[in-house]
Amino acid sequence: MAMGYNSCTAACVGFVVLLVFNQSYLGNAADQGQGLGASFIFGDSLVDAGNNNYLPTLSKANMVPNGIDFKASGGKPTGRFTNGRTIGDIVGEELGQPNYALPYLSPNATGKALLVGVNYASGGAGILNATGRIFINRVGMDIQVDFFNQTRRQIDKVLGPSQAKEYIMKRSIFSITVGANDFLNNYLLPVLSIGTRISQSPDAFIDDMISHFRVQLTRLYQLDARKFVIASIGPIGCIPYQKTINQLNPDQCVELPNKLALQYNGRLKGLLAELNENLPGSTFVYANVYDLVMDVITNYEKYGFTTASVACCGNGGQYAGIIPCGPQSSLCNDRLMHLFWDPYHPSDAANLILAKKLLDGDTKIIYPMSLRQLRDHGLG
């Protein structure tokens, strides 16, 4: 799904809590033959775990009641743009990781802690560098890849170059959830994008996104990344913010953002097929987040939700979809019953449903293999 304003952005941010690492696990991490070694997470507020806490930015989630259901922090906000865990957190748990990947900007993200993985995601981030400038500061994809380059050198020092290369190539997964902000907080943003829209058609803008993303993914491959999962853009026209400002009925979505997302997703599938063919030894998995999320929205009652339109935490309009979640927001009593936590982001309950489908779903949702299969792929 997607984001779009202040603490909305598309990119979870923030481990303020000091994570206590199991040093015995970390010391042996590179020697273990099973399970996921490291999880390297890139993207926006959907998966950010606290990086924006360390930035002077308007896109922050390190205030109550964000994190109210996040057990690892005792219910305190961490910079995640949800009430609990991100999809990246849940996937890491399910694949056997002992701790969540630390935000890159956290002072604890150093030494052996890197062997569990690192989260580079940033609220407001996009594929294009201009995306998210309304928030003043964010870490876009180009810089996130630069940051991984620094991590890659540090892992060489921890494990030695030969073992580090093996660990990155065979025991690590690179997950990337990005692109929604390029539309919501760039192309479709009335104030800042008018020049872009006059000069670029949707086709040209998406061409630009794909060409930049190709370079970013290829750079990660050149740094020894081999196992990738790339999320499509979700139905961004269905988030409470979009429904509220467009005064839609609960079962309606805004057509243009969804049309742009589908157009981009079609091109993304082609890009990943191209990279699978041209980059030897790589596996690029396509996560069909659009159809997955749309199914949950359409059939929300079947999934145990009472609403797929109203934000649990927010203010403004029929769907509490104008003002991002913060201390002054109205807060629902039944957080398990809301698909959306705030005007832009899914709740912990929704993230759990989505993560489990990606972990073990069929090829309509996750292609050509599930995340659990990707973890074990190439390990013999």
| Whether residue 342 lies in the annotated active site | yes
When computed from its CA atoms, the radius of gyration of the chain, rounded to whole angstroms, is 19
Per-residue pLDDT at 197: 67
Per-residue pLDDT at 278: 98
Residue 252 to residue 258: CA distance in whole angstroms: 12
Per-residue pLDDT at 192: 59
Return the structure tokens found at 16: 């303020």
Q: Which residues, 6 or more positions from 13, have their beta carbon under 8 angstroms from its beta carbon?
A: 45, 48, 49, 50, 51, 52, 53, 59, 60, 61, 62, 79, 80, 81, 103, 121, 122, 123
Return the structure tokens found at 239: 């988030």
| Whether residue 45 lies in the annotated active site | yes
Residue 174 to residue 142: CA distance in whole angstroms: 15
Beta bridge mates, 346: 340
Residue 66 to residue 137: CA distance in whole angstroms: 20
Residue 349 to residue 352: CA distance in whole angstroms: 5
Helix axes 161-171 and 141-159, enclosed angle (nearest 10): 130
**Domains of the chain in sequence order:** 39-290 (3.40.50)
Give the SS3 label for residue 227. strand
All residue ranges of the chain with pLDDT < 50 are 1-33
Residue 32 to residue 5: CA distance in whole angstroms: 42
Per-residue pLDDT at 36: 82
| Whether residue 282 lies in the annotated active site | no
Per-residue pLDDT at 97: 92
Q: Which of 207, 227, 233, 214 is nearest to 272 (CA)?
A: 214
Q: Which of 7, 232, 345, 347 is catalytic?
A: 345
Q: Which of 7, 39, 45, 329 is catalytic?
A: 45
Per-residue pLDDT at 336: 97
Per-residue pLDDT at 189: 82
Per-residue pLDDT at 32: 43
Q: Which of 143, 125, 142 is nearest to 134 (CA)?
A: 125
Per-residue pLDDT at 34: 52
Per-residue pLDDT at 193: 57
Q: What are phi and psi of 231, to 5 degrees?
A: -85, 135
- pTM, rounded to two decimals: 0.91
Kindly write down the DSSP assignment for every residue of 99-124, as one continuous string: SPPEETTSTT--GGGGGGEEE---TT
Q: Which of 69, 182, 342, 348 is catalytic?
A: 342
